[in-house]
């Protein structure tokens, strides 16, 4: 029998038939599942979902005479403990470590690309520890590193784009439930995905105007070129090879280089497609200025049908938030702020670093506000162009 109950009355052993509220109100991609994980129960209790629909034929009822381990629900909730992981840090605490990782990553990736350019085999062992450091930073605070790697120059775009996609792949993988070696390999795939661009003519890569059909055909060869370079190394597993070759494929089969679709596209390739596009369109390029993070999410949602896997894209939105890190927002109080981090369980209430009052038209002492624990709220997005210099300073 199906029954609606408040989220606070959930307990381990119930079968969730349907989650209430909007999909942005809870951290789950699945619509129905048996509640067996303490971590999942914690996430639901801390979410904005008002109620759930349980199936008492497939799991415990609210008044079941046989609760899990004969333990009443209130005691189960009180005994919950967070999973063992790296200790969380604030944005300001992590930003210094993130800068150090970024600097190290730029040197390592530049060196790797130069070695490949000279025809030498890629030594994965030299960059694998970097993936672990990026993973650790994201685990401590997902917003700090992602805000830093957004700040690229035209000269270092190719190298820092690889670092950014590595971070995005790891962050997305966490939301999709990847862990351990699989998570590490998708991060490595992000780091190596654009290696083939070393074989592309610089005048085409950095052309400020629209590419000709011939030039675009040349650029479309970079995934296979990168795949061939990686195949020369015995240290590269199938996952990075797959991401490198297929990160420009589309679910409708209109991508390149192989125009594959459906089951032929792995989860890892679908992840690479989303992460690569997001970082590319949020970055300044010779031919166009980058879009703001929130605008990029909006545009990508319009392209989702046909270009991206819908489930993976929804997971990406959960990763980045409706207002991603780096978004400039206006609060109902009349203050301007930059989104620095997402709040647990709410895509609409991120942490914001406020810096200016539109009412008094004066700068404010910089302060981070967690909107989930504040009376203030986001009134809308603001055009970042007039404030870009200040925003870059705040992010750095």
pLDDT tens for 360-391 read: 999 999 999 999 999 999 999 999 888 888 88
Residue 122: CB atoms within 10 A of its CB come to 22
Decide which of 85 and 128 is more confident: 128
pLDDT at position 182? 94
CA proximity to 71, closest of 38, 44, 104: 38
pLDDT at position 379? 95
Decide which of 91 and 99 is more confident: 99
Pairing of strands 15-19, 33-34: antiparallel
Mean pLDDT of the region 76-103: 70
Give 358-383 as a 3 state SS string: CCCCEEEEEEEEEHHHCCCCEEEECC
Contact present, 18 and 53 (Cβ < 8 Å): yes
Contacts of 176 (CB under 8 A, 6+ apart): 29, 267, 271, 312, 315
pLDDT at position 76? 32
Give the whole-number percent of the chain exceeding pLDDT 70. 89
pLDDT at position 205? 87
pLDDT at position 235? 82
pLDDT tens for 285-330 read: 877 888 999 999 999 999 988 899 999 999 999 999 889 988 999 9
Query: Residue 230 half-sphere exposure, CB side, CA atoms within 13 Å?
Result: 26
- How far is 94 from 138, CA to CA, in rounded Å? 9
pLDDT at position 395? 66
pLDDT tens for 94-106 read: 999 999 999 999 9
Give 330-364 as a 3 state SS string: EECCCEEEEEEEEECCEEEEEEEEEEEECCCCEEE
**pLDDT confidence bin for 67, thresholds 50/70/90:** very low
Residue 149 has pLDDT above 60, yes or no: yes
- How far is 316 from 79, CA to CA, in rounded Å? 31
pTM: 0.76
Give the whole-number percent of the chain exceeding pLDDT 90. 55
> Average model confidence (pLDDT) for the chain?
86
Residue 167 has pLDDT above 60, yes or no: yes
Residue 358 has pLDDT above 70, yes or no: yes
Mean pLDDT of the region 29-55: 74
pLDDT tens for 112-125 read: 999 899 888 888 88
Burial (CB < 10 A; 0-12, 13-18, 19+), residue 266, is middle
Contact present, 83 and 68 (Cβ < 8 Å): no
**pLDDT confidence bin for 12, thresholds 50/70/90:** confident
pLDDT at position 27? 56
Which of these ranges, 112-121, 163-172, 256-265, has the smallest mean pLDDT? 112-121
Q: 238-246 and 267-282 helices cross at what angle (nearest 10)? A: 50
Query: What does the DSSP assignment read for 218-261?
Result: HHTTHHHHHHHHHHT-TT--HHHHHHHHHTT--TTS--SSS---
Domains of the chain (ranges, CATH numbers): 2-78 (no CATH), 91-320 (1.10.3210.10), 328-395 (no CATH)
**pLDDT confidence bin for 25, thresholds 50/70/90:** low
pLDDT tens for 338-348 read: 998 888 778 88
- How far is 298 from 293, CA to CA, in rounded Å? 9
Residue 134 has pLDDT above 90, yes or no: yes
- List the structure tokens of 128: 């694998």
- How far is 186 from 242, CA to CA, in rounded Å? 10
**pLDDT confidence bin for 84, thresholds 50/70/90:** very low
Could you list the beta-strand ranges (E) of the chain: 2-6, 15-19, 33-34, 51-55, 328-331, 335-343, 346-357, 362-370, 378-381
């Amino acid at each position: 029998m199906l029954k609606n109950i408040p989220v606070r009355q959930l307990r381990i052993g119930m079968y969730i038939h349907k989650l209430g509220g909007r999909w942005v109100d809870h951290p789950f991609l699945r619509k129905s599942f048996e509640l067996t994980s303490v971590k999942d129960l914690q996430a639901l209790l801390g979410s904005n979902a008002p109620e759930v629909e349980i199936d008492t034929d497939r799991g415990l009822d609210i008044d079941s005479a046989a609760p899990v381990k004969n333990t009443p629900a209130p005691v189960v909730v009180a005994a919950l403990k967070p999973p063992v992981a790296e200790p969380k840090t604030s944005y300001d605490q992590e930003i210094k470590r993130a800068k150090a990782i970024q600097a190290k990553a730029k040197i390592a990736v530049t060196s790797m690309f130069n070695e490949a350019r000279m025809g030498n085999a890629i030594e994965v062992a030299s960059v694998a520890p970097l993936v672990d450091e990026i993973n650790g930073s994201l685990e401590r605070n997902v917003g700090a590193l992602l805000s830093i790697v957004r700040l690229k120059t035209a000269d270092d775009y190719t190298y820092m784009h690889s670092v950014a996609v590595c971070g995005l792949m790891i962050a997305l993988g966490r939301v999709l439930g990847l862990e351990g070696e699989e998570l590490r390999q998708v991060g490595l795939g992000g780091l190596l995905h654009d290696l083939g661009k070393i074989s592309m003519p610089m005048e085409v890569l950095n052309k400020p105007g629209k590419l000709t059909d011939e030039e675009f055909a040349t650029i479309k060869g970079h995934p296979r070129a990168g795949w061939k370079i990686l195949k020369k190394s015995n240290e590269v597993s199938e996952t990075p090879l797959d991401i490198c070759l297929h990160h420009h494929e589309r679910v409708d089969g209109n991508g390149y280089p192989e125009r594959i679709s459906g089951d032929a596209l792995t989860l890892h390739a679908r992840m690479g497609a989303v992460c690569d596009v997001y970082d590319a369109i949020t970055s300044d390029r010779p031919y166009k200025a980058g879009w703001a993070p929130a605008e990029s999410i909006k545009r990508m949602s319009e392209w989702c049908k046909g270009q991206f896997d819908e489930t993976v894209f929804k997971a990406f939105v959960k990763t980045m938030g409706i207002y991603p890190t780096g978004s400039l927002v206006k609060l109902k109080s009349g203050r301007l702020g930059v989104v620095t981090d997402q709040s647990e369980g709410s895509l609409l209430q991120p942490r914001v670093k406020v810096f200016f009052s539109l009412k008094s038209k004066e700068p404010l002492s910089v302060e981070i506000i967690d909107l989930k624990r504040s009376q203030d709220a986001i009134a809308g997005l603001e055009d970042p162009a007039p404030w870009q210099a200040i925003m870059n300073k705040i992010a750095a």
